[in-house]
Amino acid sequence: MKRNLGKIFIGCMLLLLYLPILVLAFYSFTTSANIGSVHGFTLDNYANLFSNEELRGMILGTVLLALGSAFLATTLGTLGAIGAFYARKLTKSAVGAMNQVPVINADVVTGFSVCIMLVVVLGIDKSTFVPLVVGHMVLCAPFVYLSVVPRLKQMDASLYEAAMDLGATPRQALTKVVLPQIQPGIVSGFALAVTLSLDDYFIASYTKPATFDTISTYVVNATKGSQTEIKTALWALSTLIFLIVVLVVVVMNLTERRWGTAPKVDK
Amino acid sequence: MGVFRFSRKQLCIPYAVFLLCFVAAPLLVIIYYAFTNGEGNFTLDNLTGFFTSPYTIGTLAYSFAIAAVTTCVCLLLAYPIAYILARSQWKRKSVIVVMFVLPMWINFTLRITALKEILTVIEGNLAFHPFLNTVVGMTYDFLPFMILPMYTTLLKLDKSLLEAAADLGAGPFQVFGKVTLPLSVPGIISGVVMVFLPSMTNYVVLDMLYNSTYIMGSLIGSFFSAYDWHNGSMIALILLLIILVFTLVTDRYTEEDAGSRGGALL
């Protein structure tokens, strides 16, 4: 009985968590513009998502921004983590402390401070996309740094020395020994950076060009408008993202099961 | 050897410069703006203005209330979930844990849109219960962030301690109250940090649910859109100080896992 109670509670919580998403998913396949009545089924919402130029541009822009700023943040954060790891204690703790600021700070404050610095003080135009990309790099790079550092700590320090003794140049030792060792940290840092950038609203709202929208800023504006066609197309987008996430999680679990023990070799 | 070490260290120069320019310098700029007026003279008007204006003080109080209630609701829901999951022997336990975390990967504005549609069907006009809807929206948004740290802590809990307590004559409630609960405090604290601070500043949830922006985060925005950098900076600085105090107080109770927000996302 007690165990069943637990199961019922967990089940109810999952239901509450998924109910809005699933209801929206169901209605995204109908002709209705409001939850409640169903008159017929259609794929129009999904067609709109790809035929409406505004929607298509917004989705593509968000994805490109996420990949681009995640790539830059990963490069910068990884190099920073390696450098700081071998640097003097003072440099290391200074970089570590500055790295913590965007992590604990509210995104609103991060976005505001980046905007004040770049747009108000330095006078960079928002339409150059520089403030937006820098803002997302400030958001993401610290998390890349934090996911690479533990890998560096785990790494056998003598490997680098051994490579050098065997005649490798510092550059070779770095690319052929250090980078492969910390690769899992870099990959998860990149994935995290993409997720953070995709989910961001606050930094984008302060730093984006007026004519550009990310999914977040677009959705927030759209909920205030009354265009039902856009509204229901966003239901389709939500459903599509949900399906992609489920797919990614399932694939990740399956590959992890198959390669289960492989990543643990270096521990 | 010295040359090689030097070259490795050099790798952090770009990142250090980046952090100096876009993290450290902006903070100094904010402090400068917060304590100056439009003519660039030093002033405390922005500070006193914040604490004497009923609107800003009211917003601060409202934000605190929203954040406190949201955190409590999340705690009350998440603790049993984390506890049941950590203690259960279910075969598909890991799948269920992933299911609780999975919504975090869906853009939060889309999730709130979904919630808004459902709440509208139930309530009609969302503006009738602004406080309740805000708490519901934020709980829906932040619940996974609370479950995960508590689950990790409870999972790591040494089972032999529970058995020892039971052997020494403690009843199930005593075991929970005197062993399990005190030992799960680090998880609870990290969960509270991850929910309390965002719910103080996340104005989008309110904004989307019923077009209100009566919360700390949006104050910055309202000054910002009026080109009032000075008052905006003061609000940002006050928020920053609240966050700093909160982090310093909670830091000693949590285990050393700096990337907790990151860990929860991946």
Q: Is A170 contained in some domain?
A: yes
Q: Which member of A36, A143, A238 has the closest CB to residue B110?
A: A238
Nearest to A156 by CA among A75, A265, A83: A265
Q: Are residues A90 and A160 in the same domain?
A: yes
Contact A219 B27 (CB under 8 A): no
Q: Are residues A149 and A103 in the same domain?
A: yes
Q: Are residues A250 and A129 in the same domain?
A: no
Q: Is A28 contained in some domain?
A: no
Q: Are residues A186 and A241 in the same domain?
A: no
Structure token digits, residue A3: 């165990």
Residue-range definition of the domain harbouring residue A67: 56-224
pLDDT band of B15, cuts 50, 70, 90: very high
Q: Is A33 contained in some domain?
A: no
For chain A, give me the number of helices (H) and strands (E)?
12, 0
Q: Which member of A99, A103, A245 has the closest CB to residue B106?
A: A245
Question: Is residue B31 within 8 angstroms of chain A, CB to CB?
Answer: no
Q: Would you state the pLDDT for residue A265?
A: 33
The nearest alpha carbon in chain A to B124 belongs to A35
Q: Is A31 contained in some domain?
A: no
Q: Which member of A6, A77, A88 has the closest CB to residue B15?
A: A77
Contact between B106 and A245 under an 8 Å Cβ cutoff? The reply is: yes
Q: Are residues A197 and A70 in the same domain?
A: yes
pLDDT surpasses 60 at A150: yes
With contacts defined as CB-CB under 8 Å, which chain B residues touch A145?
15
Mean pLDDT for B179-189 is: 89
Q: Is A39 contained in some domain?
A: no
Span A83-141, pLDDT tens digits: 999 888 899 999 999 999 999 888 989 999 999 999 888 999 999 999 999 999 999 99
Q: Is A40 contained in some domain?
A: no
Span B20-35, pLDDT tens digits: 999 999 999 999 999 9
The nearest alpha carbon in chain B to A247 belongs to B102
* Best of A28, A55, A108 to mutate (most B CBs within 10 Å, chain B): A108
pLDDT surpasses 80 at B1: no
Q: Which member of B8, B220, B221 has the closest CB to residue A83?
A: B8
Mean pLDDT for B1-6 is: 48
pLDDT band of B111, cuts 50, 70, 90: very high
For residues B99 and A190, what is the distance between their CA atoms, to the nearest angstrom?
22
Contact A20 B111 (CB under 8 A): yes
Contact B247 A107 (CB under 8 A): no
Mean pLDDT for A42-58 is: 88
Structure token digits, residue A232: 């229901």
Q: Are residues A90 and A142 in the same domain?
A: yes
Q: Is A194 contained in some domain?
A: yes
pLDDT surpasses 80 at B262: no
Contact A219 B120 (CB under 8 A): no
Contact B27 A104 (CB under 8 A): no
Q: Which amino acid is at A264?
A: K
Q: Which member of B102, B140, B204 has the closest CB to residue A249?
A: B102
With contacts defined as CB-CB under 8 Å, which chain A residues touch B29?
113, 116-117, 121
For residues A140 and A73, what is the distance between their CA atoms, to the nearest angstrom?
6
Count the domains in chain A. Answer: 2
Q: Are residues A168 and A129 in the same domain?
A: yes
Contact between B135 and B69 under an 8 Å Cβ cutoff? The reply is: yes
Q: Are residues A214 and A236 in the same domain?
A: no
Domains, chain B, ordered by start: 18-265 (1.10.3720.10)
Structure token digits, residue B240: 């920053």
What's the whole-number average pLDDT of chain A?
88
Q: Are residues A203 and A104 in the same domain?
A: yes
Q: Are residues A152 and A206 in the same domain?
A: yes
With contacts defined as CB-CB under 8 Å, which chain A residues touch B200?
106
Strand partners, B190: none
Q: Would you state the pLDDT for residue A17?
A: 92
What separation in angstroms does the CA of A202 have from each of A60, A108, B205? 19, 5, 12
Q: Are residues A258 and A137 in the same domain?
A: no
pLDDT surpasses 60 at A30: yes
With contacts defined as CB-CB under 8 Å, which chain A residues touch B213?
none
Mean pLDDT for A200-209 is: 92
* Best of A109, A118, A161, A199 to mutate (most B CBs within 10 Å, chain B): A109
DSSP B177: I
Structure token digits, residue B227: 């080109």
Q: Is A14 contained in some domain?
A: no
For residues B18 and A76, what is the distance between their CA atoms, to the nearest angstrom?
9
CATH number at residue A180: 1.10.3720.10
Nearest to B30 by CA among B173, B217, B234: B234
pLDDT surpasses 70 at B211: no
Contact A91 B16 (CB under 8 A): yes
Nearest to B215 by CA among B83, B25, B21, B55: B55
pLDDT surpasses 90 at B52: no
Q: Which residue has the higher pLDDT, B261 or B106?
A: B106
> How much of chain A exceeds pLDDT 90, in percent?
54
pLDDT surpasses 90 at B72: yes
pLDDT surpasses 50 at A262: no
Mean pLDDT for A30-56 is: 85
Q: Determine the distance in angstroms separating the CA of A226 from the nearest CA of chain B, rounded to an integer.
A: 13
Q: Which member of B5, B110, B259 has the closest CB to residue A234?
A: B110
Contact A14 B29 (CB under 8 A): no
Q: Are residues A247 and A215 in the same domain?
A: no
Q: Would you state the pLDDT for residue B7?
A: 67
The nearest alpha carbon in chain A to B85 belongs to A10
Q: Which member of A105, A134, A237 has the closest CB to residue B243?
A: A105
Q: Would you state the pLDDT for residue B173?
A: 87
Q: Would you state the pLDDT for residue A190?
A: 95
Contact between B77 and B140 under an 8 Å Cβ cutoff? The reply is: no
Mean pLDDT for B11-16 is: 91
Question: Is residue B19 within 8 angstroms of chain A, CB to CB?
Answer: yes
